[in-house]
Structure 1
Amino acid sequence: MVEEIGIRILIPLLVFGWIIVGAYVVSDEALQDVLKRRAQE
């Protein structure tokens, strides 16, 4: 019973964590790209 509850909590946390990491990486790359373009101009 306890393990089942733990899995129900753990999976959404993992998914949420992956979304945050993915969004952070994408936004960071986009920011680096913008900074490079501004530096070139």
Structure 2
Amino acid sequence: MNKSPEGVERRQKMGMPDVEDAAVEQAWSRFRSWMSRFLSA
């Protein structure tokens, strides 16, 4: 996610909630797991 002040301001203007770092890390972890399962075969 774009954590720059401009990115935060843009998301707030669009009505998007703030992103939790733990949720972002979990999403990337799941994505990496999925990619390694399907691309390493």
TM-score by length of 2: 0.49
**Higher relative contact order, chain-length normalized (CA < 8 Å, sep 6+):** 2
Higher-helix-fraction structure: 1
